[in-house]
Structure 1
Amino acid sequence: MTQTDLRTEAFESERPRLLRLAYRMLGSLSEAEDVVQDGWLRWAQVSLSVDSPPAYLTRIVTRLCLDRLKSAKARRETYVGPWLPDPIVESVNPVETIADDITATLMLAMERLSPLERAAFLLHDIFGTPLKEIAKTLDRDPAAVRQLASRARRNVRTERTRYALDAVEADRLARTFFEAAHGGDATALAQLLARDVEIHADGGGKVSAFRNIVYGAANVIRLFTHVSSKDQHRPILIRTAVIDGLPGYISYNPDGRLQTTALDIDQGRIRAIYIVRNPDKLTHISAD
């Protein structure tokens, strides 16, 4: 096997993990794929012998992500309506290893972190990268990296807890919410929703969506009952699914557009609803 073949094999074996890292850093699957491809181009040009290809590739991809996060911050400031990460549907996503214990709620919490805090947290807490390697990647000393990770951990601590549901219960809750929300059943919604529930709807200015985050059960119930009374045709449920680590469903709206809805459930009540309608974020979702 030639040196080029060995290098290609080393990269391809790491590609799923690198894509997972880049997606968690950026929140965009298309940008993550671009970063991993850029990482391959840089890797292919390395002439020196590398002791640990996984560590070296992690360093390349992390630094490329940090560069992208600078421009991403500016784009988010002008984004139309609430921003949500690209939805990852575990059952149909071609890169199955992207699924982990990070939910959409935690992804949004990580938006509060600085790029360096985000990198330190992901590499240390999620990917189990040794502290010395993270320090080398971020060009910081280990003590500084430890502080970055600790500060990040404190900022997202409340969103780390997972209230695991079995598949049957997750499916039941998703279907029950779909029927209540799109049937305008205020009583059923009141039994499902936490008092401080929120709706985050991402249309990206491309399609209609709630322009602001909707807070509180009363407002959410009022909104769904109003929308359902105006729609002549109900959305069509395609299937329930695990979306960004949360129970949810994929549906067609009356306008024929695809939508994903993820539900963050705490002690049997829905505390957040994440709706993605931006078509640019749904191109990888299969309706089959």
Structure 2
Amino acid sequence: MILNIEEIVQQVPLPMIVKDDASRQLKGVPAKSVDLVVCSPPYNIGKIYERDRKLSLSEYLDWQSSIVADLATVVKPTGSVCWQVGNYIKDGALTPLDIPFYEIFRSQGFILRNRIIWRFNFGRNSDRRFSGRYETVLWFTKSDSYKFNLDPVRVPQLYPGKRHAKSKGSSAGLPSGNPKGKNPSDYWEFSAERDFFENPVWEIPNVKAGHPEKTEHPCQFPIELAERCILALTDENDFVLDPFVGTGASMIAAAKLRRRGLGIDKDAGFAKLASDRIADFSNGTLKMRPSGTPVRRPVAGEKVAKIPEEWQM
């Protein structure tokens, strides 16, 4: 069933999950009605939800191009898209998906504002290349008139006592930072320790075993990552759309921040899982990692931090 956003807004106070094909359901979304798209689309790498439709890379990109064309119709002129992607890998050859997706979105008139690097600590280890430990979030806007709310996503100043130099005229000697915090960096550069600390990374742990949000979904999207995008790029009561909603993380973030929303997934099991998780959030029983919590590091003395005796022989 194709639903109309106005009907969803009137009938459902929480974001709604629809079990349907994204291409079909997007045709029922009114033009220029969506404030933000937050999505991690399938990567076409053979995950369980992709096995019914094996596509070549060119076929996959053609399919995704049709999805982006539909998004260009439904996103408001003041709206944004946050498209989180990783890599397509076949026969050991890697294609960073943000490269073709940039061209796909650009061809539909979208403007790239940031290429955000999301780093995480754990993932599949590789033997014949460096282990992948980051993915990218492409933030596009529909026009030059867009929302960007910096204050809700500022990070603490690393040098709050830093002051302007004497050459700065009337600002000389005054604190050089913003008391509300600094603008988060859009990247992490692996260089000297000084550069690492001066360019804060969007370091949000991916959802693996032991994470409180973990479900049976093989490529789960963390709620906090969606939450940052929604905080920065929308206002309360704005409408958030996710055409490949998976476990519902984007819609949970929308509900948490008092936004309306529609999530779409063609897999009946995952659509139900997402709906159940939103219901659990609503009644206060959903397990979530607190946003802004520093990534845990092992401390000296912990068993997992000790070098095994076998390695010391």
What is the TM-score when the length of structure 2 is the normalising length?
0.27
What is the TM-score when the length of structure 1 is the normalising length?
0.28
